[in-house]
Structure 1
Amino acid sequence: MKALRRFTVRAHLPERLAALERLSVNLRWSWDKPTQDLFESIDPELWRLVGSDPVGLLGQVGPARLEDLSRDEAFVSRLDALAADLDNYLTRPLWYQELADENGQEAALPNGIAYFSMEFGVAEVLPNYSGGLGILAGDHLKSASDLGLPLIAVGLYYRSGYFRQSLTADGWQHETYPSLDPQGLPLRLLTDAGGAPVLIDLALPQNATLHARVWIAQVGRIPLLLLDSDIPENDHDLRGVTDRLYGGDQEHRIKQELLAGIGGVRAIRAFTDSEGLPAPEVFHMNEGHAGFLGVERIRELIEAGLDFDTALTVVRSSTVFTTHTPVPAGIDRFPVEMVERYFGSDPGGVGTRLLPGVPLDRIVAFGAEDDPSKFNMAHMGLRLAQRANGVSLLHGQVSREMFNDLWPGFDPAEVPIGSITNGVHAPTWAAPQWLELGRELIGSADLSSLSEPHVWERLQQVDPGHMWWIRSQLREELIEDVRARLRRSWLERGASDAELGWIATAFDPGVLTIGFARRVPTYKRLTLMLRDAERLARLLLDDERPIQLIVAGKSHPADDGGKALIQQVVRFADRPDLRHRIAFLPDYDMSMARKLYHGCDVWLNNPLRPLEACGTSGMKSALNGGLNLSIRDGWWDEWYDGENGWEIPTANGLADEARRDDIEAAALYDLLENAVAPKFYDRDERGVPMRWVEMVRHTLQVLGPKVLASRMVRDYTQKYYLPAARALRESIEPGTGARYNVPFGAARELAEYRQRVEKIWPQIEITDVDSSGLPDTPLLGSQLTLTALVNLAGLRPSEVSVQAVLGRVDAGDTLLNPMTVPMTHTGTADSGQDVFTAVTPLPVTGSVGYTVRVLPHHRLLAEDSELGLVALA
């Protein structure tokens, strides 16, 4: 018989062990090994069975064992010390507080940051993630906690998470969706003063209302708010809105995104009110999924008395948008009629609008694209945010080209989308052996100084033999884990124990071990390694320099093409002559990933360039002394230096895709055979591969401080959060002149300026450009004087930026990597046109050209290209 419902019943904790509850529900334990070790010591076998989950452990440990522990003075002493350490961590000044003290800029720091994401990979016990986006979000929260940021995170609570993956006998992916009991997880419910659950409500079409409770996961200092629609207050179909991550059709998806964005803002308001916290000043969208948060904030400001355009100006000033999508097909796009239906009135005209007071046509305009029938969530994110970024230097460049149409008249390089390269949370992903070595080199248990490059230089003091010992120990631990997972997988596929004797000796702790683990969309090319299957087989079985390959990854449940790729790898790995050297491990999650990053000598990545926005898995491998073997894409394009791994040459651009794959696969095999394996197996008299270890040392020294999420979060703070908070505060202050001498006057001033400029702009005209002062034979550095006559159509010279643009030109007179020179207003011509002049030395040799352009200018714009308006000569 099956139970109707599952729930967790715990034993009472003795008073002396009460602190175990606090330690178990704050997810800081997931990156604090002493706390993990304490819970493991309660019952090592049970700890393993519950998947290293403190809440699960406390839910199953017996009262007799707890009574014994309460009388164990050594255990209680450890517990008290760790509880005190947690309290100290949660309260002491950290980097963010010191930033205010050191620079005297406390008033400039945002006193609250709201961070929205559709998935969060904090720990495997809370499976609210599917892949890189969620893991990145989880690392962002952990590092924000370690740095002391006043950040509140918002997402959805998925009752079935993503999915658990297994394999059928013929190697096809099979999905299951276990139901998760929130009461058995490290969560608490947001309640009102009377103890009743707080409900978040959204009005939907047909007079329906979507209700959601709010679960809170405490990630160190950071509260993570997760909205849950599976509650009795909802009709049956609405209870399923938060059933699965990335499941269902577009109707299901838009409800999730409305709940995440609009409901997320309302959850933050309820949470900050109940906790007595300041309202967040900065709102950060991690991808466009939660983009509707912007229109909810506009609704709030309209309700407070602002007009739409002033409210939009305030919202834009304080919103940051991060895009992770390098291809248009990866962006959520909804039919416009669907958006109109959810935001408009019911067909009978008697329903309640989801956002009272917000014009429907303005909402639809945020998501407009070249296809008038589609609503584009990324476009909405960009239109609602004054600051935007990609997640690596290359991805920033790709994003500027991808979204260039939103800034017509500007070259891609001038599109106002920057970049902050992703990072990874070292205490989560670095092996304990490396962390212990770090503490020894630093001379302190505090690892915060790992952000300083000079600290990593101390690795020069470490004997190569010791570094190789760590790498070998981690490889052995990985092989043990792989064998256990292989056995479980074969048993699930229908094999019997009698057939699995070979697994005891499968894989070899002394063999070069390569990892390839990630989601399985087509562009990541899971099966490139099989392009010449027999050549790969020879590499795996080489008598002198064998390699072994561990592959893992999930395909989206609706992607049969991705599942077919997995099946190809599984069938190859099933070959009796190869199965001891290659394996596909199902159910890739954080626990498996951690072992792979720790133990693999090489991390393989062969995406189609430039479709990998960042790709942080290779960073985690590098943090453990793994060497990357990768196409130059994402972060690897930025930080590969020839000594921290190997570059797979790319043949991108070839029209013949099959030939491109053949060329890149052949290059991969050549590198493995002629560069990677020889270095690994070239040993000194102690058995240490000295050239390999020096590459490991170099990788750690050069990449260690760069790949840290703490570096990433500091970058976001200084480049985006601080400017956004400053812009918000400026926007709510009185503006310039008596007309705007009221609260929010500056925002009103900018909103009216924008309306006026957009109306006038078609009339702006550069009527004449004259150059003078050049000799007959111009030389590098010769002075060029440019004078332009501009019809400003009623705008004042201070309301525009007039620029000379010059540089080399190609055969079609297109300026290449031009420089801009500000032109100064020097008067008014007899014709009434304004005169602008610039004097500049010629910056380059060769064929040089110039032009003049006019852009809007206002002190509250982040940059002059922000409005997407330009007039060219």
Structure 2
Amino acid sequence: MVVEEFLKEGRIAYFSMEIGIRPEMHTYSGGLGILAGDTLKSAADLRIPMVGITLIHRMGYFKQELDPFGRQIEHPDPWDIEKYLSKLDVKVEVMIEGKPVYVTAWLYVIESITGGKVPVLFLDTDIPENTSEDRTITHFLYGGDLQYRLKQEIILGIGGVRILDNLGFQINKYHMNEGHSSFLTLELLNKFKKPIEEVWSEDLVWDIDKVKDVCVFTTHTPVEAGHDRFPYELVQKMLGEPVPLWLIKKLAGDGMLNMTLLGFNLSEFINGVSKKHEEVSEKMFPGYEIHAITNGVHTYTWVSESFKKLYSKYHFGWANEPEIFVRAWRIPSEEVWNAHVEAKKHLIDYVNRITAANLNYDTFTIGFARRVTPYKRADLLFLDPDRLAMIGEGRIQIIYAGKAHPQDEGGKKIIQKIFEVKERMKDRLKIVYIPNYDMEMAMKLVAGVDIWLNNPLKPYEASGTSGMKAAHNGVPNLSVLDGWWIEGWIEGYTGWAIGGMDETSDTRRDVEDIYYKLSNEILPLFYENRSNWINIMKSAIAMNAYYFNTHRMIRLYVTEAYIR
């Protein structure tokens, strides 16, 4: 595969710090990267001319080991780059700390069964021309200190634009998937700079409007601390002044360089990733017009094998036309249940094999898997473990998975707490925590559990996509009314809400709601009214999967952001 075949038409350049395409390529940590990969897969399916740009992350995010007490131990997680990527004959330089850092790129091509193809470029500084320190810039995803992070974002933004130019790509739009790549706007300011003889003031050489015209920015972060900020002293030390400092401060804030503000101020179109997130973002960044394009998931990737067979039997063309799922009511209930039983057996066998947990096929199984950090409240279910045991003894088993960021001590303590409860309750409740959560494990979990639990503090769930993946496999959600679930929730039809529509969470009320609904609605329905339970499974497919997919999402980006 050669890159030349992708140079014949203009493309949308999709920049993301992480892009998760397949489990064997350790180029993602979680939701942001998986969403990026799903987006580009849908672009290939729909033959939308895009190109992805990310870093190669030779050592991955990290491999998680959990000791018997739930203490997390992190290990490098390298992968076989040459098995999946092709090295390109390209090299550009980016100035960091006043010296050149050389950047090359590797190519992966997403190929769809529709015949569509999307190239993804993985930027790499691990080449002989660089110092030993600079060779490691593209090694670790979200690793190192603030200086390391800044270097990575310089390589992604500035190096990414230069690689595209060097290879001969014609770029019509630059889409920043979060603020990590916002330095690309500084490169574009220089690229579109007006000749000094054409303006009456040197300040006017910077064609801000032209940069804005080609830039799109998607924010995923409703948490203030999640927006990258760098001290200007560090920025000047690392980056110098690719454009005058007064201009950078005008665009990125006076106190510290805010990567989100930099992207906002140089983008024509800005969006959040759910309707609720649009409201939250406008409060965080007053004065900006922020749109809403709710996230989705790549249907074919996240549907289990048993449901693929079922959908192919009744909904021809579903993989590239997921809106067909609105007809899911026509699928015979017995066949829906049998497809779920097959997916559940596959999951339970996997869990028992790697953990010796002795889970049962017939027991109601709750799934909870995502990044472990305090606001996601992975331990909420255990606020009153004795009461939970009274409700679920012999009737509930719970599967957990998820990594805590290496520097997130609060998240690590939550994993330890779950292990403590697991040990204390072992004679009353079966609880298992699977280490090293990844894409492959997620595929099994979202399809094989009976209900998907999600209970973050509001309003910190920008969108969430794991519940969408569950819905694609007929698994209902039990979730707080935040992010996508506000749009997908119909009480008792697609799943259940935790708490009410209040702007913020009440922990005691939320856990009471979980216990009440498990005891009085969910478990009786599952065990005593199987036909109605299967109807809810069908509703999850017909009312959630048909809409919350990246085919619908990418079409909205095309019509609302790319061809404005």
The residue number in structure 2 matching 1:266 is 162
Matched, 1:398 2:280: yes
Query: Which structure 2 segments of 5+ residues have no match?
Result: 112-116
CA shift for structure 1 position 664: 1.2
> Structure 2 vs 1, CA of residues 457 and 241 (structure 1 numbering), >3 Å: closer, same or farther?
closer
Residue aligned with 1:706, SS: coil
Matched, 1:484 2:360: no
CA shift for structure 1 position 695: 0.8
Residue aligned with 1:209, SS: strand
Matched, 1:365 2:250: yes
Q: Kindly provide the CA deviation profile for residues 757-778 of structure 1, in whole angstroms up to 9, marking residues without a partner as x.
A: xxxxxxxxxxxxxxxxxxxxxx
Superposed, 1:411-426 pairs within 5 Å as 415-426=288-299
Matched, 1:202 2:52: no
The residue number in structure 2 matching 1:230 is 126
The residue number in structure 2 matching 1:121 is 20
The residue number in structure 1 matching 2:508 is 662
> Structure 2 vs 1, CA of residues 571 and 557 (structure 1 numbering), >3 Å: closer, same or farther?
same
CA distance in 2, matches of 1:313, 1:131: 34
Superposed, 1:336-415 pairs within 5 Å as 336-344=232-240, 355=242, 358-368=243-253, 372-404=254-286, 407=287, 415=288
Residue aligned with 1:129, SS: coil
Matched, 1:282 2:178: no
CA distance in 1, matches of 2:77, 2:319: 37
Q: Which residue, out of 177, 191, 196, partners 2:76?
A: 177
CA distance in 2, matches of 1:547, 1:176: 33
CA distance in 1, matches of 2:96, 2:440: 39
CA distance in 2, matches of 1:651, 1:715: 27
Does structure 2 conserve the Cα–Cα contact (< 8 Å) formed by 1:343 and 1:360?
Answer: no
Does structure 2 conserve the Cα–Cα contact (< 8 Å) formed by 1:200 and 1:211?
Answer: yes
Report the structure number with the largest CA radius of gyration. Answer: 1
Superposed, 1:647-658 pairs within 5 Å as 647-650=497-500
The residue number in structure 1 matching 2:519 is 673
Q: Which residue, out of 372, 377, 380, partners 1:528?
A: 380
CA shift for structure 1 position 474: 1.2
Q: Read off the aligned partner of 1:630 and give its amino acid letter.
A: S
Q: Read off the aligned partner of 1:706 and give its amino acid letter.
A: Y
The residue number in structure 2 matching 1:330 is 226
CA distance in 1, matches of 2:427, 2:126: 47
Residue aligned with 1:634, SS: coil
Does structure 1 conserve the Cα–Cα contact (< 8 Å) formed by 2:193 and 2:205?
Answer: no
Superposed, 1:548-587 pairs within 5 Å as 548-575=397-424, 577-578=426-427, 581-587=430-436
CA distance in 1, matches of 2:276, 2:377: 20
Q: Kindly provide the CA deviation profile for residues 218-245 of structure 1, in whole angstroms up to 9, marking residues without a partner as x.
A: 1121111111111211111111111200
TM-score, with length taken from structure 1: 0.61
CA distance in 1, matches of 2:30, 2:77: 18
The residue number in structure 1 matching 2:114 is none
Q: Read off the aligned partner of 2:11 and give its amino acid letter.
A: G
The residue number in structure 1 matching 2:362 is 510
Matched, 1:131 2:23: no
Does structure 2 conserve the Cα–Cα contact (< 8 Å) formed by 1:651 and 1:663?
Answer: no
> Structure 2 vs 1, CA of residues 653 and 639 (structure 1 numbering), >3 Å: closer, same or farther?
closer
Q: Which residue, out of 597, 600, 604, partners 2:453?
A: 604
The residue number in structure 2 matching 1:717 is 558
Q: Which residue, out of 361, 365, 371, partners 1:519?
A: 371
Superposed, 1:672-821 pairs within 5 Å as 672-683=518-529, 689-723=530-564
CA distance in 2, matches of 1:676, 1:570: 25
Of structures 1 and 2, the one scoring higher in RCO (CA 8 A, sep 6+) is: 2
CA distance in 1, matches of 2:179, 2:427: 44
Q: Kindly provide the CA deviation profile for residues 814-863 of structure 1, in whole angstroms up to 9, marking residues without a partner as x.
A: xxxxxxxxxxxxxxxxxxxxxxxxxxxxxxxxxxxxxxxxxxxxxxxxxx
Matched, 1:186 2:84: yes
Q: Read off the aligned partner of 1:474 and give its amino acid letter.
A: A
Matched, 1:295 2:186: yes
Does structure 1 conserve the Cα–Cα contact (< 8 Å) formed by 2:194 and 2:205?
Answer: no
Residue aligned with 1:180, SS: coil
CA shift for structure 1 position 649: 0.9
Q: Kindly provide the CA deviation profile for residues 352-399 of structure 1, in whole angstroms up to 9, marking residues without a partner as x.
A: x6x3xx32321232210xxx4311111111001011000000001111
Q: Read off the aligned partner of 2:156 and give its amino acid letter.
A: A
Does structure 2 conserve the Cα–Cα contact (< 8 Å) formed by 1:540 and 1:581?
Answer: no
CA distance in 1, matches of 2:508, 2:315: 47
Does structure 2 conserve the Cα–Cα contact (< 8 Å) formed by 1:518 and 1:554?
Answer: yes
Q: Kindly provide the CA deviation profile for residues 56-80 of structure 1, in whole angstroms up to 9, marking residues without a partner as x.
A: xxxxxxxxxxxxxxxxxxxxxxxxx
Query: Which structure 1 segments of 5+ residues have no match?
Result: 1-21, 27-89, 92-109, 192-197, 345-352, 408-414, 488-502, 684-688, 724-873
Q: Kindly provide the CA deviation profile for residues 604-625 of structure 1, in whole angstroms up to 9, marking residues without a partner as x.
A: 0001111000010000000100
Does structure 1 conserve the Cα–Cα contact (< 8 Å) formed by 2:367 and 2:452?
Answer: yes
Does structure 2 conserve the Cα–Cα contact (< 8 Å) formed by 1:288 and 1:378?
Answer: yes
Q: Read off the aligned partner of 2:189 and give its amino acid letter.
A: I
Q: Read off the aligned partner of 1:359 and give its amino acid letter.
A: P
Q: Kindly provide the CA deviation profile for residues 466-524 of structure 1, in whole angstroms up to 9, marking residues without a partner as x.
A: 2111111111111001112214xxxxxxxxxxxxxxx4xx1110111110000012110
RMSD: 2.1
Does structure 2 conserve the Cα–Cα contact (< 8 Å) formed by 1:165 and 1:176?
Answer: yes
CA distance in 2, matches of 1:681, 1:434: 22
CA shift for structure 1 position 462: 2.2
Q: Read off the aligned partner of 2:92 and give its amino acid letter.
A: I
Does structure 2 conserve the Cα–Cα contact (< 8 Å) formed by 1:339 and 1:364?
Answer: no
> Structure 2 vs 1, CA of residues 593 and 644 (structure 1 numbering), >3 Å: closer, same or farther?
same
CA shift for structure 1 position 575: 3.9
Matched, 1:450 2:322: yes
The residue number in structure 2 matching 1:150 is 49
> Structure 2 vs 1, CA of residues 457 and 211 (structure 1 numbering), >3 Å: closer, same or farther?
closer
Q: Read off the aligned partner of 1:429 and give its amino acid letter.
A: W
CA distance in 1, matches of 2:534, 2:205: 60
Residue aligned with 1:165, SS: strand
Does structure 1 conserve the Cα–Cα contact (< 8 Å) formed by 2:393 and 2:429?
Answer: no
> Structure 2 vs 1, CA of residues 283 and 579 (structure 1 numbering), >3 Å: closer, same or farther?
farther
CA shift for structure 1 position 450: 2.3
> Structure 2 vs 1, CA of residues 537 and 228 (structure 1 numbering), >3 Å: closer, same or farther?
same
Does structure 1 conserve the Cα–Cα contact (< 8 Å) formed by 2:393 and 2:428?
Answer: no
Residue aligned with 1:212, SS: strand
Matched, 1:461 2:355: no
The residue number in structure 1 matching 2:440 is 591
CA shift for structure 1 position 165: 0.4
The residue number in structure 1 matching 2:136 is 240
TM-score, with length taken from structure 2: 0.93
Matched, 1:167 2:66: yes
Sequence identity, in percent? 38
The residue number in structure 2 matching 1:646 is 496
Structure 1's consecutive aligned runs of 4 or more residues displaced over 6 angstroms after TM superposition are 303-307
CA distance in 2, matches of 1:709, 1:236: 40
> Structure 2 vs 1, CA of residues 169 and 394 (structure 1 numbering), >3 Å: closer, same or farther?
same
Does structure 2 conserve the Cα–Cα contact (< 8 Å) formed by 1:540 and 1:578?
Answer: no
CA distance in 2, matches of 1:432, 1:610: 35
Q: Alignment length, in residue pairs?
A: 550
